């Protein structure tokens, strides 16, 4: 069975939304590492489900959804993550946990909002944004 999906390297991306999102992820990475977090994974994929970042500080592992916006007029980032997206993130997180988790680890979901562009970028970290749905 052949796949119809084709891998496109980042250097060939042309959609400005995708490039803005990647820049936001890099800004979030820089912010979180400066705050003492270590990066376990960037752009972890499980089928069609993905996690922007997986970060760790000791036994605490955070699965991070990064929302990049040009301005704050779009509303709060947490409101843009609906129940379907949360479930998708939770499935990918469960896969990551089974593959890479350690006994005694604690898990949570965080949201990082990156607003602005260029040198005028604002990064906000919302820890423990939601819990696993049961």
Rounded CA gap, 121 and 25, in Å? 12
Domain boundaries, the chain: 38-130
Rounded CA gap, 99 and 108, in Å? 17
Question: Residue 90: its pLDDT value, please?
Answer: 95
Confidence of residue 15 (pLDDT cuts 50, 70, 90): confident
pTM (predicted TM-score): 0.87
Domain 38-130: which topology? Answer: Trna Endonuclease; Chain: A, domain 1 (3.40.1350)
Rounded CA gap, 93 and 84, in Å? 14
Q: Which of 132, 97, 126, 133 is nearest to 31 (CA)?
A: 126
Q: What is the pLDDT of residues 87-117, one digit of tens each?
A: 999 999 999 999 999 999 999 999 999 988 7
Q: Which residues have a Cβ under 8 Å from the Cβ of 106 and sit 6 or more positions away? A: 59, 60, 61
Q: What is the pLDDT of residues 62-91, one digit of tens each?
A: 999 999 887 777 777 778 888 999 999 999
Q: Decide the pairing of beta strands 60-69 and 106-117.
A: parallel
Question: Residue 5: its pLDDT value, please?
Answer: 62
Question: Residue 79: its pLDDT value, please?
Answer: 81
């Amino acid at each position: 069975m052949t796949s119809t999906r084709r891998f496109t390297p980042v250097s060939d991306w042309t959609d400005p939304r995708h490039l803005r999102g990647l820049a936001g992820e890099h800004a979030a990475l820089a912010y979180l590492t400066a705050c003492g977090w270590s990066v376990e994974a960037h752009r972890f994929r499980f089928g069609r489900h993905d996690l922007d970042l997986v970060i760790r500080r000791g036994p605490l592992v955070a699965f991070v959804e990064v929302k990049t916006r040009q301005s704050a007029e779009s509303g709060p980032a947490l409101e843009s993550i609906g129940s379907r997206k949360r479930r998708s993130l939770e499935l990918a997180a469960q896969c990551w946990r089974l593959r890479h988790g350690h006994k005694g680890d604690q898990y949570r979901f965080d949201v990082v909002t990156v607003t602005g562009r260029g040198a005028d970028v604002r990064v906000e970290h919302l820890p423990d944004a939601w819990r696993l749905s049961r």
